[in-house]
Amino acid sequence: DIQMTQSPSSLSAFVGDSVTITCRASQGINNYLAWFQQKPGKAPKSLISAASSLQSGVSSKFSGSGSGTDFTLTINSLQPEDFGTYYCQQYNSLPWTFGPGTKVDLK
């Protein structure tokens, strides 16, 4: 199975800050990498697929990049509604696997 790691595991930021989350796969996954946002008590929401393609309706403040094994999610101008936990996921090969998550909270 492909193992996914994320860093940092948590971060604190001010409203208006920009933050970057890193995701690494244990082997190459081409660009088959998705990002999800989850708020407390809610289901995950799909943000990005194919490493950098925004899902329909997702704000352009979110951007993704990378290929192979190393990927990043950047969130610009953080707003209160952006706080939550972010997960990456590879769908290059079964079983699809998720990273452990990065919790973004208010400083």
Residue 63 lies near another protein (rule: CB under 8 A): no
Determine, following the binding rule CB under 8 A, whether residue 87 of this chain makes contact with another protein.
yes
Residue 35 · residue 64 · CB < 8 Å: yes
Least distance between another protein and beta carbon 16 (Å): 27
Least distance (Å) between residue 68 CB and another protein: 16
Exactly one of 39, 100, 105, 106 binds another protein (CB under 8 A); that residue is: 100
CB distance 79 to 19 below 8 Å: no
Q: Closer to another protein at the Cβ: 55 or 76?
A: 55
Smallest separation, CB 104 to another protein (Å): 14
Which range touches another protein (CB under 8 A), out of 7-15, 16-24, 59-67, 83-91? 83-91
d(CA 99, CA 107): 24
Could you tell me where the beta strands, DSSP code E, fall in 1-107? 4-7, 10-13, 19-25, 33-38, 45-49, 53-54, 62-67, 70-75, 84-90, 97-98, 102-106
Closest distance to another protein from the beta carbon of 34 (Å): 4
44 lines the binding site for another protein (CB under 8 A): yes
CB 65, CB 21: distance < 8 Å: no
